[in-house]
Chain A
Amino acid sequence: MNILIPLLILVPLAFALVIFFSGPRAKAMVPFGILAAALTLLLSIGLCFQVYQAPSTLSQNAGAAQATIAPKVSFISETLRFVLPVSVAGQPIDWQLSFGADGISALMVLLTGIVGFFTVWLASSQIRVRTEAYIALLLVAISMLMGVFLSMDLLSFYIFFEAVLIPLILLIHGWGDGKNPQAASKRFLLFTLAGSIPMVVGLISLAMAPLANGQPSTVAFSELSAIAAQAASSGVPIGSKDSWAVWLLLLGFGIKLAILPLHTWLPMTYAAAHPNTTSLIASVVAKLGLYGLLRIVIPLTPVALSIEAQLVVGTLGAIVIVYGALVALSKDDMREVLAFSSLSHVGFITLGLMSMTREGLGGAALQMFNHGLITAAMFWILSMLEQRHGPIRLRSEDQGMAAQYPKLAVLLVFFTLAGAGLPGLNGFVGEFLTLSGMMRVCTTLVAIAVLGTVLGAWYGLRIVQRLLFGGNGTRTDTHNRPLAGVDLTPREWVPLVAVGFLCLYIGLFPMRTMKLFQADTDRLAALAEPVSKQIHRDMDTLVVESTNP
Chain B
Amino acid sequence: MQITKAAATHLTPEIILLIGGTLVMCASVLTRKSQREDIYAQRNNFAVASLMCLLAAMAARYYRGVPEIGNADLGLFRFDASALAAERLTFLGGLILILMSWSTAPKGRFAEYYGCLLIILAAIPIVGASNDLVSMFLGLELVSFPTYILLGIVRNDNAGAEASLKYFLLSAFASCFFLLGVSYLFGFCGSTNLAVIQGSFGEGKRLMALGLLLAICGLAFRITAVPFHFYAPDVFEGTSVTMAGVMSYLPKVAGFVALIRLLGTGTLSPGASGVVIPVLLGCAALTMCVGNILAVAQNNLRRMMAYSSVAHTGYLLLALVALIRQDASPGVMYSYLAAYAAMTLGLFACLGEIEAAGGKSHLIGDLAGMFQRRPAASIGLTVALISLIGLPFTAGFWAKFMVFVGTVADRQTDSISMLMGALMAINAVIAASYYWRILSTLYAKSESNVPLRVFRPSLFFAYTICTVLTILWFFVPSAM
Contacts and interface: CB of A to CB of B under 8 A. Distances in A.
B335 interface: yes
Given A189-B436, A204-B404, 14 more contacts: A86-B329, A159-B392, A163-B391, A166-B393, A182-B440, A186-B433, A194-B426, A197-B428, A198-B426, A200-B404, A201-B422, A204-B409, A205-B412, A240-B412
Contacts of B405: 84, 86, 88, 93, 204
Interface in A239-258: 239-241, 244, 248
B66 interface: no
Interface stretch (B5-13, B157-165, B215-223, B395-403): B395-403
B319 to A, nearest CB: 9
B478 interface: yes
Interface in B320-349: 322, 326-332, 334-335
B429 A88 contact: no
B264 interface: no
A507 B433 CA distance: 44
B391 A201 contact: no
Interface in A437-473: none
B478 to A, nearest CB: 5
Nearest to A185: B440
Contacts of B444: 182
Contacts of B418: 201, 241, 244
A84 B398 contact: yes
Given A163-B392, A197-B429, A186 B422 contact: no
A399 B392 CA distance: 47
A92 B329 contact: yes
Given A86-B328, A159-B397, A200-B404, A208 B409 contact: yes
A197 B413 contact: no
A537 B224 CA distance: 56
B429 A87 contact: no
A162 B392 contact: yes
B440 A162 contact: no
B406 A86 contact: yes
Interface in B21-36: none
**CB-CB nearest 7 A-B residue pairs:** A85-B331, A241-B412, A198-B425, A197-B425, A163-B392, A201-B421, A159-B392
B328 A85 contact: yes
B292 to A, nearest CB: 13
B123 interface: no
B425 A201 contact: yes
A207 B478 CA distance: 20
Contacts of B332: 85-86
5 contacts: A85-B329, A86-B409, A193-B432, A197-B428, A198-B425
B478 A87 contact: no
A84 B402 contact: yes
B477 A194 contact: no
Contacts of B408: 201, 204-205
A163 B390 CA distance: 10
Interface residues of A, number: 42
Interface residues of B, number: 45
Contacts of B392: 159-160, 162-163
A87 B329 contact: yes
A85 B429 CA distance: 25
A410 interface: no
Contacts of A93: 405
Interface of B: 322, 326-332, 334-335, 386, 389-393, 397-398, 401-402, 404-406, 408-410, 412-413, 415, 418, 421-422, 425-426, 428-429, 432-433, 436-437, 440, 443-444, 477-478
Interface string A58-85: 0000000000000000000000001111
A84 B331 CA distance: 8
A88 B409 contact: yes
Given A197-B425, A201-B408, A165 B391 contact: yes
Interface string A82-100: 1111111110110000000
Contact of A190 (B409, B415, B433): B433
B82 to A, nearest CB: 12
A162 B397 contact: yes
A173 interface: yes
A217 interface: yes
Of A86, A163, A204, A239, most B-chain CB atoms within 10 Å: A86
Nearest to A93: B405
B328 A186 contact: no
Interface in A88-117: 88-90, 92-93
Contacts of B477: 82, 84
Given A85-B478, A201-B418, A173 B432 contact: no
Contacts of A189: 432, 436
Contacts of A82: 477-478
A178 interface: no
Interface string A242-285: 00100010000000000000000000000000000000000000
A174 interface: yes
Interface of A: 82-90, 92-93, 159-160, 162-163, 165-166, 169-170, 173-174, 182, 185-186, 189-190, 193-194, 197-198, 200-201, 204-205, 207-208, 217, 239-241, 244, 248
A98 to B, nearest CB: 17
A89 B329 contact: no
Nearest to B418: A244
A200 B425 contact: yes
A127 B415 CA distance: 50
A186 B429 contact: no
A201 B404 contact: yes
Nearest to A92: B329
A197 B423 CA distance: 10
B426 to A, nearest CB: 7
Contacts of A185: 440
A88 B390 contact: no
Contacts of B433: 186, 190
Contacts of A86: 322, 327-329, 331-332, 402, 405-406, 409
B368 to A, nearest CB: 12
A89 B410 contact: yes
B415 A198 contact: no
Of B326, B402, B429, B477, most A-chain CB atoms within 10 Å: B429
B432 A190 contact: yes
Contacts of B329: 85-87, 92
A193 B440 CA distance: 16
Of A82, A87, A90, A160, most B-chain CB atoms within 10 Å: A87
Contacts of B393: 159, 163, 166
Contacts of A186: 433, 436-437, 440
A88 B404 CA distance: 12
Contacts of B330: 85
A13 B425 CA distance: 29
A344 to B, nearest CB: 28
Contacts of B412: 205, 208, 239-241, 244
Nearest to A190: B433
A194 B429 contact: yes
Contacts of A89: 410
Contacts of A166: 386, 391, 393
A190 B428 CA distance: 10
Nearest to A191: B429
A18 to B, nearest CB: 17
B266 to A, nearest CB: 11
A241 B413 contact: yes
Nearest to A87: B329
B407 to A, nearest CB: 8
Of A88, A162, A193, A194, most B-chain CB atoms within 10 Å: A193
Contacts of B404: 200-201, 204
B328 A190 contact: no
A292 to B, nearest CB: 16
B296 to A, nearest CB: 11
Contacts of A92: 329
B415 to A, nearest CB: 7
Of B335, B392, B432, most A-chain CB atoms within 10 Å: B392
